[in-house]
Structure 1
Amino acid sequence: MGKTKITILCENRAGLTKNIIGEHGFSALVEKDGQKILLDTGQGLGLQPNAKALGIDLSLIDTIVLSHGHYDHTGGLSQLFPFARKTKIIAHPDVFGPKYSYQEDNTNEPFKYIGSSFSKDTLEADPNCELILQKDFQKISDRIFFSGQISRVTNFEINDKRLKLKYQNGFSDDPLFDDTSLLIETDKGPVILTGCAHSGIVNVMMHFENMTGHKQFHAVIGGTHLGFLNSEDQLEKTMDAFESYCLDMIAVSHCTGNEASAICYNRFKKKFTFANAGWTIEL
């Protein structure tokens, strides 16, 4: 199949590589068979400097996948736009929704805008941008698949009630139907690469099983949203699912949270690692 290289460009924590900076956000570069696919772009602080520190030329990226429409995953588009070459942007149609976060302790501004600073019209105005908005599972490159809208099957992975959509007459819970992920088939087995896994990381794994027939995955890499647990047994059931899918590696980022990471490490030991900014793996 050929080597697959995954590099974390933006993440909350900076790795040990010199000149890497951390930010609240996520971005990962997938290099496979000459293709350069960027999943998310961070919030717009670290993408360019971290790529420079790692010797990565962002102008060679031909495809950008936006896992969902929050600022900490889409803001780095500002460091790429306008595009230097023909670039596909793949995302769910809801990615440009009016996304807010409810902050109960902020009485002055309880609802804070956390959506994308880029509109559909702005991106489409760039002649080098091919914007592909779709809900369906799709093969986007040889052995690389876009999840499309992820089915919500589990009863323990519940939407984060802090996340809202704004309408003319107020706010409602954001179901985050735009939450998407990538599946990469590598020499070591299929790898799931997530932005935040707002759908629930178990739902993500089950979705890819249903779409591809894979019953085992080599790795899950990226955000898992386990830092915002909605039920007491969610973490335990999630780790059980990691075992049932025979994961060899659990490389967490961004919204996994310290407590969930510590519990996960204590269960999986050498299979667990942090995918921090600057972290890279070849498969």
Structure 2
Amino acid sequence: MRLTILVDNCTCIDRYFLAEPALSIFIEDQGQRILFDCGYSDVFLHNAVRAGIDLLHLDFLAFSHGHLDHTWGLDALIRRITEARLQGLPHHPPHLVAHPRTFVSVFEPTAGDIGALLSREKVGHHFNCTFSTEPVALTERLTWLGTIPRLMPFESQDPIGSKADDERPDFLPDDTALAYRSEKGLVIITGCSHAGICNIVEYAKHLTGECRVVDIIGGLHLQSPSTAQLAGTIGYLEKEGLSHLHAGHCTDLASKIALARTLPLREVGSGLSLSY
């Protein structure tokens, strides 16, 4: 598997890519081309051009959850594919994989609607879709995890806004991640880890039967975390024996400094490419 971070909050040193507070990752594995999240704007499209990546020929488009910093770029991708169709250019629309509630609006008291711009019905006009709470195999080794069981008492305790369809507090049941079974162990690829990064890792191990974890890439949702959450997360990850920890996006500086004291934290940013 090879992955390239198309969008992150930061860029890597000496890499002339754009950044925004969002996430999008391009993955290639076993002949399959996967886009994981679309960021907030069309930045991921510009960075794909810089990286020489063709996003007109994707096999899968998978979403981690429905928040604006992961889904609002979908509008730009639809425009790009539609323009290619109108101009008679070669293209291959991807199969979309998401939780059934990913495209339900989310209202937050201060920010307003922070959910996806497009409805599930509208998305279905542009893509063949699989909406599932169960895991979906994207390749023989790469799995979209579906609903993550919430087991850790120090994680996933606070809702963010409320879903428009039932007006109940949103604990983000749609939040999920990817798990890749490498020869050395699991590589976990996350969006924001609203479900809790430790919950995600535990479920990935349970689902795949692989107990070794070699790397975690993406957002850990450690933004001014409670003392219990930060300590619990560090304690859990220390026991996993990670070779690398690529914590980015929604991981604040204080949390990165704390993680780096005992864990193999690595630089993350738009343009970073990793191979497994």
Q: TM-score surpassing 0.5?
A: yes
Which residue matches 1:186?
Answer: 182
- What's the offset of the Cα at 1:90? 0.4
Q: Find 1:277's aligned residue among 261, 265, 270.
A: 270
Which residue matches 2:88?
Answer: none
Distance 2:33 2:14 in 1: 21
User: Does structure 2 retain, via aligned residues, the 8 Å contact 1:96–1:116?
Assistant: yes
Q: Structure 1: which 5+ runs fail to align?
A: 103-109
- What's the offset of the Cα at 1:66? 0.5
Q: Structure 2: which 5+ runs fail to align?
A: 82-90
Pair 1:246-2:244 in alignment: no
Deviates more, 1:132-141 or 1:195-204: 132-141
Q: Find 1:234's aligned residue among 223, 229, 235.
A: 229
Distance 1:54 1:232 in 2: 39
Paired residues, number = 266
- What's the offset of the Cα at 1:79? 2.2
Pair 1:265-2:260 in alignment: yes
Pair 1:209-2:205 in alignment: yes
What amino acid is aligned across from residue 151 of structure 2 in structure 1?
Answer: V
What amino acid is aligned across from residue 64 of structure 1 in structure 2?
Answer: L
1:63-82 CA-to-partner distances (Å, cap 9, x unmatched) read 01110001110111122215
Structure number having the greater strand percentage: 1
Task: Summarize the alignment of residues 51-130 of structure 1 with structure 2, pairs less than 5 Å apart.
Answer: 51-81=48-78, 83=81, 84-102=91-109, 110-126=110-126, 129-130=127-128
Q: Per the alignment, in what secondary structure is the counterpart of residue 272 of structure 1?
A: coil
User: Does structure 1 retain, via aligned residues, the 8 Å contact 2:220–2:251?
Assistant: yes
Distance 2:107 2:157 in 1: 14
What amino acid is aligned across from residue 213 of structure 2 in structure 1?
Answer: F
1:243-280 CA-to-partner distances (Å, cap 9, x unmatched) read 22221111011101111011111222xx2113211111
What amino acid is aligned across from residue 233 of structure 1 in structure 2?
Answer: A
User: Does structure 1 retain, via aligned residues, the 8 Å contact 2:142–2:178?
Assistant: yes
User: Does structure 2 retain, via aligned residues, the 8 Å contact 1:160–1:228?
Assistant: no
Deviates more, 1:4-13 or 1:184-193: 184-193
After TM superposition, where is structure 1 displaced by more than 4 Å over at least 4 residues in a row?
none
Pair 1:177-2:173 in alignment: yes
Task: Summarize the alignment of residues 27-38 of structure 1 with structure 2, pairs less than 5 Å apart.
Answer: 27-38=24-35
Which residue matches 2:218?
Answer: 222
Distance 1:9 1:166 in 2: 30
Q: Per the alignment, in what secondary structure is the counterpart of residue 202 of structure 2?
A: helix
Distance 1:180 1:132 in 2: 14
User: Does structure 2 retain, via aligned residues, the 8 Å contact 1:159–1:198?
Assistant: no
1:159-213 CA-to-partner distances (Å, cap 9, x unmatched) read 3344332357xx4320100001000112432100000010000000111111112
User: Does structure 1 retain, via aligned residues, the 8 Å contact 2:72–2:117?
Assistant: yes
Which residue matches 2:155?
Answer: 157
Question: In percent, how many aligned pairs have the same letter?
Answer: 29
- What's the offset of the Cα at 1:6? 1.2
Distance 2:261 2:108 in 1: 32
Q: Per the alignment, in what secondary structure is the counterpart of residue 25 of structure 2?
A: strand
Distance 1:158 1:121 in 2: 29
When normalised by structure 2's length, the TM-score is 0.91
Q: What root-mean-square deviation, in Å, do the aligned CA atoms of Structure 1 and Structure 2 show?
A: 1.6
When normalised by structure 1's length, the TM-score is 0.89
